[in-house]
Structure 1
């Protein structure tokens, strides 16, 4: 398509569909259609970036870097707080646009997701002002650790929580004094454009934040192989991460990769079963499109029947439908291709001997990309459905008889992003969590995340950790300055 996009209107909210480069809106010769998962309607025609736009964005970030890096911590923090103010001012606009764009629940965007977006900016602004390492001495020499801005960063973000996960990267990068080229997912690009408007209104200098839209297959390599890029942060799939790593290798560009998960939820017989069931049903959040989700239910054999009975009763009470409806519990999946992928996993599992407890089919009568909440049992540890990330509302259930077996099953994939343990025994909780391969372990809870905690995955779930000082360690060049004793004899 060769029209030049300007803007689209979503539920009364005007969204510019052009790129944001160097403080200006930039069109492309071609566009791509942004489709709502709610009903399949076209939300707008989005500027389809090429190597030309990516080069312009990196050049703008490079040009803006010296000035932003030299900006005082206090001023950078002030501007980040002003961006947070802008997010809060436009919270309703951001919520409705993102719901239409990616299908997540409007009530969740209003009450949790968009407030968290603002918090991301406030947290890293405040953390910046307290960032320090205590000076120390080595044989009379003084050591001083500092965090120097690294340079232009490329941030590539996913579609399942578009703005929240984008700002999880943008906020610390800007706080660190870096400049940014943000590449949002092509399936959910709209709120990144609104963020550019908000940042400009908050006084962020031109070129410090740039937004380039388009297909990763067309512009990803141009971004990740650019010799002027100093950091790359990516959230997404393992295959894409491998391509990015290969692209970045020529320049030895440091990477932070948050990748897939196939997390276990272990339920021991001594657990509060009602709590365990609630935790398990919660894994259907965002239509199962959560990288951290505990999609593998591992239940001690003696309570498996009762657990399953209670789970089915609670899961069947969930309402699936239009995410703009306050009563809806589960919305659509993001895209027809994703729906096909989810159903393919389920149908292959059933053909291989798995049994459907609930779900196992699309909800085509709802008119969009809806997949029924699904639980499969009679699955083997080495089966595809247990080993590979589905990224949809699909859980599996396996049983175990000993603690050792539970840990073996939990660790029995190539992933290691998260794990959930339900038990009434604190000693068991400590013992089991110590053996689990995971970046985050939740005990009798789920999705409790503090920005000062390290976040990332083990094995093929990722490389590196972000959050708190770990984010600044990545987005900065960490320097140690060593001063000799009595070095100032001849000074003035």
Structure 2
């Protein structure tokens, strides 16, 4: 085994970058630690500006050939990548659980199958891509999607491989080459993806992986004039820095940012369903951008809702995410745990009441928490915590419900629980959100657009929207006359 290979949950993982079809060690390293027990997983290659430049150069060199590759061949390779993911699904699941602390059962049953589906979906969608020609005064308009060029994809730690491939798959399908920069708190499955892609026959340089700290290599990636697209999922402050870095080159950006999504429970709702959806917001230890962390409940049912919620939340099992019985695992990093605890302590000091939780657990675990008696303009209501912390407020009538729901700087998602279809339609139309779920949560179809409004993001991805972003969309207009005949 190479000195640059570590073993995580019995799986060998190369700790070096993947640039131009080769492993590159670089100089310095950073330590990757498991949130489950604080154990060191390994020393990971710490990228430099030179590594970032080399990765972009490799992507640029590989671009012409990959862009010229037929749709059918691109789709074949992406399906082969999906085959490789499915073949190594268990390895990917156990490594990612060790790396970011999310539930192993979720990785096995939902997350890693979705990784494979990301590749299959965009491979198939590519073969369907097109627009009917249309006529303008006898002239023919033909719309085409041209590959844009090298793309920098910067991905988060809460669902590392799934959210990476949500970007990698359409970028590659579109004929672009990619430099993937995974989050430093969860880099391991990106390295495994590089191996899988190479084994599937993806040409050298088409996918590159550079590990390290965004503060050290982010600007070198996003300011590079050879980069034609930047797609980022993460925090608003980091998005601002990326946008400023990309601005001199007018590099198009797709930004999927944070949220402070509401869950509106009306008096005519199925309360059992409402409680079930509310408790579901603790999924992944609350580290979900879409999570409906603000529970808004109509006054007449608030007391009963709270009683049922408290009862159901008390049954959640918090512990080792590798245990099938566990419902909530650890938070990703001591710094994140401190951030979560700080939010809660400041809220309690300001007069909030912890109906559920409100304190740390052992290690990097934070107790599922529900806070009441919170003001609409308070920090805990307005700012994203990104942990297992919910707030509960009451409202009287649709107008107040919508006013409270829309009264943050975010607009990623919203959930509405009601027994009245008319109310569902009225309220949904007034909510500022990229996605609204009615009597359900987290139902995602890759054909649908996904993104946020306000500070929750810029742009939409998914389905044809992904191709619109990752391509230069061209319209060719041809006159009906003017051809010379060659005999």
TM range (shorter): over 0.9
Corresponding residue to 1:40 among 15, 32, 38:
38
Instruction: State whether residues 149 and 177 of structure 1, in contact with CA within 8 Å, keep that contact through their aligned partners in structure 2.
Output: yes
**What pairs with 1:18-417 in structure 2 (closer than 5 Å)?**
18-364=16-362, 368-417=363-412
Corresponding residue to 1:424 among 409, 419, 423:
419
The separation in 1 between residues aligned to 2:23 and 2:103, in whole angstroms, is 30
- What SS is found at the alignment partner of 2:232? strand
Question: Residues 212 and 340 of structure 1: is their aligned pair in 2 closer, same or farther, counting only changes over 3 Å?
Answer: same
The separation in 2 between residues aligned to 1:407 and 1:5, in whole angstroms, is 57
| CA displacement at 1:487 relative to structure 2 | 2.9
Question: Residues 454 and 5 of structure 1: is their aligned pair in 2 closer, same or farther, counting only changes over 3 Å?
Answer: farther
Corresponding residue to 1:433 among 409, 419, 428:
428
Unpaired runs of 5+ in structure 2?
none
Instruction: State whether residues 5 and 47 of structure 1, in contact with CA within 8 Å, keep that contact through their aligned partners in structure 2.
Output: no
TM-score by length of 2: 0.99
The separation in 2 between residues aligned to 1:292 and 1:398, in whole angstroms, is 19
The separation in 2 between residues aligned to 1:124 and 1:402, in whole angstroms, is 43
Deviation track 1:27-79 (CA, whole Å, cap 9, x = no partner) reads 01110000100000110100000011001100000000000000000000000
TM-score by length of 1: 0.98
The separation in 2 between residues aligned to 1:134 and 1:463, in whole angstroms, is 28
Question: Residues 432 and 63 of structure 1: is their aligned pair in 2 closer, same or farther, counting only changes over 3 Å?
Answer: same
Deviation track 1:418-439 (CA, whole Å, cap 9, x = no partner) reads 0000000000000000000000
| CA displacement at 1:491 relative to structure 2 | 4.2
The separation in 2 between residues aligned to 1:204 and 1:27, in whole angstroms, is 21
- What SS is found at the alignment partner of 1:465? coil
The separation in 2 between residues aligned to 1:337 and 1:179, in whole angstroms, is 34
Unpaired runs of 5+ in structure 1?
none
The separation in 1 between residues aligned to 2:64 and 2:228, in whole angstroms, is 14
Deviation track 1:246-290 (CA, whole Å, cap 9, x = no partner) reads 000000000000000000000000000000000000000000000
Corresponding residue to 1:473 among 463, 468, 479:
468
| CA displacement at 1:490 relative to structure 2 | 2.9
The separation in 1 between residues aligned to 2:98 and 2:177, in whole angstroms, is 29
Tell me which residue corresponds to 1:485.
480
- What SS is found at the alignment partner of 1:416? coil
- What SS is found at the alignment partner of 1:228? coil
Deviation track 1:68-101 (CA, whole Å, cap 9, x = no partner) reads 0000000000000000000000000000000000
Instruction: State whether residues 298 and 398 of structure 1, in contact with CA within 8 Å, keep that contact through their aligned partners in structure 2.
Output: yes
- What SS is found at the alignment partner of 1:146? strand
The separation in 1 between residues aligned to 2:220 and 2:7, in whole angstroms, is 31
| CA displacement at 1:402 relative to structure 2 | 1.2
The separation in 1 between residues aligned to 2:66 and 2:3, in whole angstroms, is 30
The separation in 2 between residues aligned to 1:11 and 1:40, in whole angstroms, is 14
Q: RMSD over aligned Cα, in angstroms?
A: 0.7
Alignment coverage as a number of residue pairs: 486
- Residue 451 (structure 2) pairs with residue 456 (structure 1): yes
| CA displacement at 1:488 relative to structure 2 | 2.1
| CA displacement at 1:297 relative to structure 2 | 0.1
The separation in 1 between residues aligned to 2:75 and 2:486, in whole angstroms, is 35
Instruction: State whether residues 87 and 198 of structure 1, in contact with CA within 8 Å, keep that contact through their aligned partners in structure 2.
Output: yes
| CA displacement at 1:11 relative to structure 2 | 1.1
The separation in 1 between residues aligned to 2:378 and 2:273, in whole angstroms, is 28
Deviation track 1:383-421 (CA, whole Å, cap 9, x = no partner) reads 000000000000000000111000000000000000000
Instruction: State whether residues 386 and 396 of structure 1, in contact with CA within 8 Å, keep that contact through their aligned partners in structure 2.
Output: yes
The separation in 2 between residues aligned to 1:373 and 1:22, in whole angstroms, is 44
Tell me which residue corresponds to 2:10.
12
